[in-house]
């Protein structure tokens, strides 16, 4: 079959050779078409290879790479921002803690100061009061002593007068005094 | 109406370009569809946008790029990426040719053994030449699997050598036969519908529902096969190239 078509081809009557194909030859095995197909395939495939390797793959690969870079860049940017916000949060918390500590310190200090002042005032007042108390006690004691000596005098006078009235004898002042003292002590 | 499932594979010259020796070089319908495939691929890859969020065409272009790239990385390793343009061209050319061929009244470039054989031989010689260039005589370790006992080594080596040189045959015939058989089956079922209708009238048209449904199902299957065969061809290329890059199993 191939030989017969080779012969037809040899005459250069390609169309006539093709016209005979319908008779029952199996087209994929028609060797007369091989040369044409190989040449076409070579041209087409080389053209495709050049288009693909020179233009198409760099283009598509570039688009994919650009997207990849963009995504990675965006992720890095997001990570950076996240880190920044975390740092800010940490700084804020630190600031808050130190402010709280400072406030506590100030509170403690002022409380202690106030306590100390109150304590001092209390002490001064107490001292004042105890001094006054002591003074008052002294006054009371002296008043009482005076009073007691007055009472003794009055009692001695009264006793002398009573004894004079009863006996008509003016008693000895010393014995009256001794008797009054003994009574007061008893 | 006569069913002629072979007619669709005819190579018809559209005009003559010239002669090489005693071979007439014609621009045929096969040539036309080869350039149609190249044009579709170029259009897809060169006019798709470069947006950050891809549209549909751009997604197709990028998906095919990523698909082939990950295929090479997983089978031939990072060193295989130097063959990325070659494998990508092969995959896209076969895939687009197969898919275009499913459209009725079109020609399927890959249903011709000479085309698939040329592509398979391109891969074969790329593997052979690159393997010898890169590894020198160490490339011959491809034929000597490690961990084989000495007494059966000659037999195993003979099988390895044979299988190595039969690779382009299986590589090309697999694609060719799949495309050919699928298109013949489609044509037979579709022609059967028309034949029933033409010969039996109304009854025939009603009876033709079954083969029509089969033709529709077969078309869906052929879509899968079209992609799958391109994938198989490309991944086998990767596996063969892996031998050239890393000889010795």
pLDDT in tens, A43-95: 999 999 999 999 988 988 888 889 899 999 999 999 999 999 999 999 999 99
Nearest chain A residue to B14 by CA distance is A15
Question: Which structural domain range is residue A108 located in?
Answer: 46-185
Q: What's the rounded mean pLDDT across residues B224-237?
A: 94
Q: Which element (helix H / strand E) includes B25?
A: strand B23-28
Q: What is the pLDDT of residue B2?
A: 60
From the list B41, B89, B118, which residue is nearest A38 (CB)? B118
Where does the pLDDT of residue B249 fall: very low under 50, low under 70, confident under 90, or very high at 90 and above?
low
Q: Is the distance from CB of B218 to CB of B185 less than 8 angstroms? A: yes
Q: What is the pLDDT of residue A98?
A: 95
From the list B6, B65, B180, which residue is nearest A60 (CB)? B65
Q: Mark yes or no for CB contact A39/B20 under 8 Å.
A: yes
B23-28 and B13-20 as β-strands: parallel, antiparallel, unpaired? antiparallel
The sign of the torsion formed by the CA atoms of B238, B241, B246, B249 equals positive
- Within a domain: residue A9? no
Q: What is the pLDDT of residue B122?
A: 94
Q: What's the rounded mean pLDDT across residues B127-136?
A: 89
- Within a domain: residue A24? no
Domain count, chain A: 1
Residue window 1-60, chain A: list those with CB within 8 Å of chain B: 9-10, 12, 14-15, 18, 21-22, 26-30, 33-42, 44-45, 47-49, 51-53, 55-57, 59-60
B202 CB within 8 Å of a chain A CB: no
Question: How far is the C-alpha of B175 from the C-alpha of B112, rounded, in Å?
Answer: 9
Q: What is the pLDDT of residue A18?
A: 40
- Please state the pTM of the whole predicted model: 0.72
Where does the pLDDT of residue A179 fall: very low under 50, low under 70, confident under 90, or very high at 90 and above?
confident
Q: Which element (helix H / strand E) includes B20?
A: strand B13-20
Question: How far is the C-alpha of B26 from the C-alpha of A81, rounded, in Å?
Answer: 66
Q: What is the pLDDT of residue A160?
A: 83
Q: What's the rounded mean pLDDT across residues A98-125?
A: 95
B27 CB within 8 Å of a chain A CB: yes
ipTM surpasses cut 0.90: no
- Within a domain: residue A28? no
From the list A9, A27, A67, which residue is nearest B10 (CB)? A27
A26 three-class SS: coil
Question: How far is the C-alpha of B238 from the C-alpha of A161, rounded, in Å?
Answer: 155
Question: How far is the C-alpha of B137 from the C-alpha of A61, rounded, in Å?
Answer: 35
At CA B120, angle to CA B119 and CA B125, rounded to 5? Answer: 100
> Counting every residue, how long is chain B?
249
Where does the pLDDT of residue A186 fall: very low under 50, low under 70, confident under 90, or very high at 90 and above?
low
Q: What's the rounded mean pLDDT across residues B168-178?
A: 93
One-letter-per-residue 3-state SS of A95-142: HHHHHHHHHHHHHHHHHHHHHHHHHHHHHHHHHHHHHHHHHHHHHHHH
Residue B166: both structure tokens together: 């039969």
Q: Is the distance from CB of B14 to CB of B34 less than 8 angstroms? A: no
- Within a domain: residue B235? yes
Q: What is the pLDDT of residue B92?
A: 94
Residue with tokens 């001092």: A120
The model's pLDDT over A2-37, given as tens digits with 9 standing for 90+, comes to 333 333 333 333 333 343 344 457 888 877 888 888
- A51 contacts in B (CB within 8 Å)? 38, 41-42, 45-46
Q: Mark yes or no for CB contact A55/B118 under 8 Å.
A: no
Backbone torsion region of residue B205, taken as left when φ is above 0, otherwise alpha when ψ lies between -120 and 50, otherwise beta: alpha
Cβ neighbourhood burial of A128 (10 Å; 0-12, 13-18, 19+): exposed
Average pLDDT, chain B: 88
Average pLDDT, chain A: 83
- Within a domain: residue B239? yes
Q: What is the pLDDT of residue A114?
A: 95
Nearest chain A residue to B177 by CA distance is A28
Question: How far is the C-alpha of B31 from the C-alpha of B23, rounded, in Å?
Answer: 16
- Within a domain: residue A135? yes
Crossing angle between the packed helical segments B113-135 and A34-50, to the nearest 10 degrees = 50
| Residue percentage of chain B with pLDDT more than 90 | 45
| Residue percentage of chain B with pLDDT more than 70 | 98
B189 CB within 8 Å of a chain A CB: no
Contact pairs from chain A to chain B, CB under 8 Å: 150
Give the residue, B91 or B243, on which the prediction is more confident. B91
Question: How far is the C-alpha of A142 from the C-alpha of B161, rounded, in Å?
Answer: 143
Q: What's the rounded mean pLDDT across residues B101-106?
A: 89
Q: Mark yes or no for CB contact A40/B28 under 8 Å.
A: yes
At CA B18, angle to CA B14 and CA B24, rounded to 5? Answer: 75
Distance, in angstroms, between B31 CA and closest chain A CA?
5
Residue B115: both structure tokens together: 């085309």
- Within a domain: residue A11? no
Domain count, chain B: 1
Nearest chain B residue to A12 by CA distance is B24
Q: Is the pLDDT of residue B135 over 70?
A: yes
Q: What is the pLDDT of residue A19?
A: 39
Q: What's the rounded mean pLDDT across residues A135-145?
A: 91
- Within a domain: residue B1? no
Cα-based distances in Å from A165 to A161, A162, B69, B70: 6, 5, 152, 150
Q: What is the pLDDT of residue A16?
A: 38
Q: Mark yes or no for CB contact A52/B52 under 8 Å.
A: no
- Within a domain: residue A90? yes
Cα-based distances in Å from B211 to A111, B158, B178: 102, 48, 21
Q: Mark yes or no for CB contact A44/B92 under 8 Å.
A: no
One-letter-per-residue 3-state SS of B73-131: HHHHCHHHHHHHHHHHHHHHHHHHHHHHHHCCCCCCHHHCHHHHHHHHHHHHHHHHHHH
Q: Is the pLDDT of residue B21 over 80?
A: no
Residue with tokens 């009557």: A13
Residues 6+ apart with CB under 8 A from B100: B33, B36, B37, B40, B106, B108, B109
Question: How far is the C-alpha of B38 from the C-alpha of B93, rounded, in Å?
Answer: 7
- Within a domain: residue B225? yes
Question: Which structural domain range is residue B68 located in?
Answer: 7-245
Of B111, B89, B115, B112, the residue nearest B101 (C-alpha):
B111
Residue B202: both structure tokens together: 């109304």
Q: What's the rounded mean pLDDT across residues A102-112?
A: 95
Lowest mean pLDDT among A99-103, B35-39, B153-157: B153-157
């Amino acid at each position: 079959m191939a030989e017969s078509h080779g012969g037809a081809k040899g005459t250069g009557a390609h169309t006539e050779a093709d016209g005979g194909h319908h008779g029952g030859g199996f087209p994929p095995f028609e060797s007369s078409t091989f040369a044409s197909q190989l040449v076409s395939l070579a041209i087409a495939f080389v053209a495709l290879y050049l288009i693909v390797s020179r233009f198409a793959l760099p283009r598509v690969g570039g688009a994919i790479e650009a997207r990849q870079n963009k995504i990675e860049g965006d992720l890095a940017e997001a990570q950076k921002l996240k880190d920044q916000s975390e740092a800010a949060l940490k700084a804020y918390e630190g600031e808050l803690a130190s402010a709280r500590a400072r406030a506590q310190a100030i509170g403690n200090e002022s409380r202690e100061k106030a306590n100390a002042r109150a304590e001092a005032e209390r002490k001064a007042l107490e001292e004042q009061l105890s001094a006054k108390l002591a003074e008052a006690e002294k006054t009371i004691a002296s008043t009482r002593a005076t009073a007691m000596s007055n009472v003794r005098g009055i009692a001695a006078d009264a006793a002398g007068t009573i004894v004079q009235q009863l006996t008509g004898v003016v008693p000895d002042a010393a014995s009256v005094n001794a008797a009054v003292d003994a009574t007061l002590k008893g | 109406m006569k069913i002629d499932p072979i007619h669709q594979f005819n190579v018809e010259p559209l005009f003559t370009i010239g002669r090489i020796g005693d071979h007439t070089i014609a621009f045929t319908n096969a040539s036309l569809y080869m350039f149609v495939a190249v044009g579709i691929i170029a259009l897809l890859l060169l006019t798709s946008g470069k947006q950050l969020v891809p549209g549909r065409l751009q997604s197709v272009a990028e998906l095919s790029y990523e698909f082939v790239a990950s295929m090479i990385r997983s089978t031939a390793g990072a060193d295989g990426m130097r063959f990325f343009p070659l494998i990508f061209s092969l995959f896209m050319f076969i895939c687009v040719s197969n898919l275009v061929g499913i459209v009725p009244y079109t020609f399927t470039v890959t249903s011709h053994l000479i085309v698939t054989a040329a592509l398979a031989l391109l891969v074969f010689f790329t593997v052979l030449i690159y393997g010898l260039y890169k590894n020198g005589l160490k490339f011959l370790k491809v034929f000597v699997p490690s961990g084989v006992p000495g007494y059966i080594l000659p037999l195993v080596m003979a099988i390895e050598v044979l299988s190595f040189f039969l690779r382009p045959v299986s590589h090309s015939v697999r694609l060719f036969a799949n495309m050919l058989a699928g298109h013949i089956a489609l044509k037979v079922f579709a022609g059967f519908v028309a034949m029933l209708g033409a010969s039996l009238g109304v009854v025939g048209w009603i009876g033709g529902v079954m083969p029509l449904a089969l033709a529709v199902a077969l078309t869906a299957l052929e879509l899968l096969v079209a992609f799958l065969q391109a994938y198989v061809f490309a991944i086998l290329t990767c596996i063969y190239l892996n031998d050239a890059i890393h000889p010795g199993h």
